[in-house]
A and B are shown apart, each in its own frame.
Chain A
Amino acid sequence: MANVPEDLHYSKDHEWVRVERNEAVIGITDYAQDSLGDVVYVELPKAGDEFAANESFGSVESVKAVSEVFSPVAGTVVKINESLADEPETVNSDPYGEGWMIRVKMSNPGEVDSLLTAAEYEDFTKAETE
């Protein structure tokens, strides 16, 4: 079973959000990394780039496929995980930790309330695999 930490918020596109004051740390879920297989390339935006909620901010590539990643919340990128350039496999080995992708200053912090809770996301992925 895929790991779904209690303290995070989730999108239906399989991103997770960790809220730290008015900032959001964003990555892809364990379920997503497992479905993708070996991640070999991660394309991320630059600090300062702005995204609307549900806008694509980059892509994750496995050997076989390319998947876009979407920002579940609106905001400005304050930091990206530069280590993914050389170690994209971290997305597989530690999707909720060292495999984080971007840190965003949220323009509307209330938005996270509309995301899925851990329990809701778990139900959502179960329905998807059935």
Chain B
Amino acid sequence: MVDFGGWDMPVQYPAGTIEEHLRTRTHAGLFDVSHMGEIDVRGAGAIAFVNRITSNDVTKLVDGQAQYSALTTPQGTVIDDLLVYRLAEDHLLLVVNAGTTEKDWDWIKSNHSGESVELNNVSSEYCQLALQGPDAQSILQKLTDVPLDQIKYYHFSPGSVDGVEGIISRTGYTGEDGFEVYAAAHRAEQLWNKILDAGNAGTPSGVLPCGLAARNTLRLEAGMALYGHEIDETTTLLEANLGWICKLDKGDFIGRETLARQKADGVKRKLVGFEVTDRGIARDDQEVVIDEKRVGKVTSGSPAPFLKKNIGLAYVPVEHANAGQEIKIDVRGKLVGAQIVKTPFYKRPK
């Protein structure tokens, strides 16, 4: 167990990270992600308010739809990345990272001005379980009457799972199809056990409980950013390849001006994916060397259990940010060869 933003979280369960990772890719993995924070925004001004403090376009959401977005600073850097759920025209739920929940909550409150909204930090009221993998739908369907095949990617439905009322969302952080279930915190154990039972946990092709380490390797293979690694208050969304959640013409939002200028001028550095071509494993914070110059840093580096390669994400000067570019990583004093590749590293078969 490790302390993770004040939560005691398992790094891995007895099966181990590699098995957890592979089972999620081939069958299903269950993750207890109750540490994630939830902020409830209600009122006639809910959409206008959240649209002003986040970079994506909240007005594009319909009821029952979710959106990946970011809370931005005036400099275009990132307070946090988050999911915005539209429950109703006057009711949004923001799902934020655990380690940043308090910071986000303060930021959101302090940036509230005119809009008519009621804000509540309801993080402790919710549990969140993520069931991910190709078998996720068939497993979860055993426990709910909600027709899961009707829920499209990045959409959700209110509904009950094993009689527990909650939100069933077709979202995830693994690169697989899957669902995230939000429900009352005290129901977490019941849901956890029922989903494991429904997924034949303990059998070779059954669902496996997965820890933080597998969550990290899965999201890295899928090329997804992790707050505190790829993005933070020193990186802009455009540098992090998150231009697709920067809707610069949606109207004003915090950081819009800076981001528009950066888009026009071009960024100086960019987040890229790389594969290690020599023997060795790149790790977080190691330096990137190009033409004998130290030009950037690895933000996430790890073995990729499904791809059976050693991969990573790193910031490099934009002139070198091209697939095929040879780079070196300073792995504890040894320069190890790597090559920039397109992300995502892994894309699930349709």
Overall SS of chain A's interface:
strand
Smallest beta-carbon distance B38→chain A, Å: 28
Question: Taking the complex as formed, is A118 at the interface, i.e. its CB lies under 8 A from any CB of chain B?
Answer: no
Give the CA-CA distance A125 to B17 in the complex, in Å. Answer: 23
Segment from A35-43, A45-53, A100-108 that makes contact with B? A35-43
Give the CA-CA distance A129 to B305 in the complex, in Å. Answer: 29
Give the CA-CA distance A59 to B336 in the complex, in Å. Answer: 15
Check A63/B217 contact, CB under 8 A, given A37-B12, A37-B16, A38-B18. yes
Give the CA-CA distance A95 to B18 in the complex, in Å. Answer: 19
Interface string of A61-78 (1 = CB under 8 A from B): 111101000000000000
Check A40/B279 contact, CB under 8 A, given A63-B17, A64-B213. no
Max chain B C-beta neighbours (<10 A), residue from A38, A41, A63, A85 = A63
Q: Which residues in A have their C-beta under 8 angstroms from that of B305?
A: 63
Smallest beta-carbon distance B1→chain A, Å: 13
Smallest beta-carbon distance B28→chain A, Å: 20
Q: Which residues in B have their C-beta under 8 angstroms from that of A40?
A: 18, 281, 303
Q: Which residues in B have their C-beta under 8 angstroms from that of A63?
A: 17-18, 21, 213, 217, 302-303, 305
Q: Which residues in A have their C-beta under 8 angstroms from that of B19?
A: 38
Q: In chain B between 20 and 64, which residues have their CB closer than 8 angstroms to a CB of chain A?
A: 21
Q: In chain B between 253 and 310, which residues have their CB closer than 8 angstroms to a CB of chain A?
A: 279-281, 283, 302-303, 305, 310
Question: Taking the complex as formed, is B245 at the interface, i.e. its CB lies under 8 A from any CB of chain A?
Answer: no
Q: Which residues in A have their C-beta under 8 angstroms from that of B332?
A: 59, 66
Q: Are A66 and B12 in contact (CB under 8 A)?
A: no
Q: Which residues in B have their C-beta under 8 angstroms from that of A64?
A: 11-12, 17, 213, 302
Q: Are A41 and B16 in contact (CB under 8 A)?
A: no
Smallest beta-carbon distance A127→chain B, Å: 19
Q: In chain B between 287 and 342, which residues have their CB closer than 8 angstroms to a CB of chain A?
A: 302-303, 305, 310, 332
Q: Are A38 and B16 in contact (CB under 8 A)?
A: yes
**Which residue of A37, A59, A85 is within 8 Å of B17 (Cβ)?**
A37
- Chain A positions within 8 Å of B, measured between CB atoms, are 37-38, 40-41, 43, 59, 61-64, 66, 85
6 cross-chain CB contacts under 8 A? A38-B16, A40-B18, A61-B303, A63-B213, A63-B302, A66-B283
